[in-house]
Amino acid sequence: MLQRPRGTRDFLPDEMERRRAVEANLREKATRWGYREVCTPEFEELELFTIRSGAGIIGEMYVFEDKGGRKMALRPEITAPVLRMFVSEAKVLPKPLRWYYFADCFRYERPQKGRYRQFWQFGVELIGADTPRSDAEAILLADDLLRAAGIPCDLHVGHLAPMKHLLQGLELGAQAKAMAFLDKRDFDGLTPFLAGIGRDDLVPRLRDLAHARTLDELFAVTGEIPEKKRIGEIVEILDKNSLVYTLDFGIARGLDYYTGMVFEGFAPNLGAENQVLGGGAYRLAHLFGGDDVPSCGFAIGFDRLMVSLGEVKADRKVRVAICTTEEGRIRGFEVAKAFRDRGICAELDLLDRNLGAQMAHAAKAADFAVILGQREVATGTVTLKDLQSGEQKVTPLDTAVAEVAARVPR
Ligand code: HAM
């Protein structure tokens, strides 16, 4: 038997209904904040992703050469494609642009629960705004989306400036390495690394930075820094909006386009792969031939969110099973259409089963049975049976449709 590719999943109808219900909530919420959907290609020129991060990330991507010899990659994330699109299609539109996407990404990772090679992100990009309020909007929107999805989440909010301030004496490569250790809170790795370049004096301050949970604690480590006012303003907005979050200046983020505020969300009921969201303020447009437009955004890992939600059932649609004797088979199509035209799901038997077998199937799969036998065909009526209560009556088709329609939740 052929297997699906490693790190991918198949989704049966029950699971798709659950996913679509959550997705609909996220879309609805993002729309209320003024965000509009965009869509970019599933594959892009490889350079789009290496231009900022270097060739190092090729190992984490699905890279291929197309028949014209061009180096391409399946998108590992959607921020770079969206900013590429912004530069090529939309740079003259009035700013800020509020865009969202729901789409799949591909990363060549070691698969485990919550970590896949194909996964979906629900993300937003706020392009062309660079104020404490744009930073705060991204964080508050993320919180609102996670609430709409129904998952509790610990939000951690930070800023790259304090970390960069402490590391400013190091050359860029060493800075990036130190930030990667800090992001993982890996002091066992960080300490020998800094000792190796003669800067183990930084370790205690970096440790204090990663543990700072208030602005006072933060600025006690860094002293005055130019971003002090901005960080204070972001915090003020979040607090005035009663957001529950943790200040965390140890966040460095894995992707290297971030420039200022950064934030992440963790689902407490997930295991190792518990980060359900990540984002921050960044600059990318200038790398793709545009002006240096500031942006801010985040992406929710939709699959992790679904794992965190657990086995919640989606609201099932009301279903009608049309059960017919031989005489009713042709009229069955017309009857099914009348229900569908009212937005009700109606299914016909296609297997030539007898009425008893059709009713037994309907009892498992539907909420109502509409029976079309010799008598109903002769009189132009239908028999409507409520499969929950067992009540049934002979009625004109219109009445049966209206009765079922009255039971469809609005
Ligand atoms: P990211 O942190 O790389 O950020 O990914 C965002 C989220 O996608 C993660 O927090 C995680 O929930 C989910 N995710 C990542 N890799 C996997 C995987 N292999 N399997 C399942 N879920 C995964 C970005 O991608 C940025 N583009 C976010 C952003 C938007 N920054 C600014 N705007």
Element (H, E) at 276: strand 275-283
Residue 124 sits at φ, ψ, to 5 deg, of -135, 145
Whose Cα sits closest to atom 21 in ligand 1?
115
Pocket of ligand 1 (CB under 6 A): 77, 79, 107, 109, 115-116, 119, 121, 123, 125, 254-255, 275-279, 282, 297-299, 301, 303-304
Query: End-to-end distance of the chain based on CA atoms, in angstroms?
Result: 44
Nearest to 246 by CA among 266, 221, 228: 266
Residue 251 sits at φ, ψ, to 5 deg, of -75, 125
Compute, in angstroms, the gap from residue 348 CA to the centroid of ligand 1: 43
Whose Cα sits closest to atom 16 in ligand 1?
115
pLDDT given at position 409: 73
Compute, in angstroms, the gap from residue 275 CA to the centroid of ligand 1: 8
Burial 255-269 (b: 16+ CB within 10 A, else e): bebbbbbbbbbbbee
Give the Cα-Cα-Cα angle 259, 103, 10 (nearest 5 degrees): 130
Counting as low any pLDDT under 70, the low residues of the chain are 54, 410
pLDDT given at position 314: 73
Residue among 6, 53, 85, 105 whose CB has most ligand 1 atoms within 8 A, to mutate: 105
Judge contact between 295 and 116, C-beta under 8 A.
no
Please give the CATH architecture assigned to the domain spanning 319-405. 3-Layer(aba) Sandwich (3.40)
Whose Cα sits closest to atom 7 in ligand 1?
301
Judge contact between 61 and 86, C-beta under 8 A.
no
pLDDT given at position 171: 93
Parse the chain into domains and list their residue ranges: 13-309, 319-405
pLDDT given at position 410: 65
Compute, in angstroms, the gap from residue 43 CA to the centroid of ligand 1: 17
Compute, in angstroms, the gap from residue 155 CA to the centroid of ligand 1: 15
Compute, in angstroms, the gap from residue 329 CA to the centroid of ligand 1: 51
Burial 100-126 (b: 16+ CB within 10 A, else e): bbbbbbbbbeeeeebbbbbbbbbbbbb
pLDDT given at position 313: 75
Compute, in angstroms, the gap from residue 267 CA to the centroid of ligand 1: 14
In this prediction the pTM is 0.93
* Long-range contacts, 170-174 (Cβ 8 Å, 24+): 170/197, 170/199
Cα–Cα distance, 201 to 207 (Å, whole number): 11
Please give the CATH architecture assigned to the domain spanning 13-309. 2-Layer Sandwich (3.30)
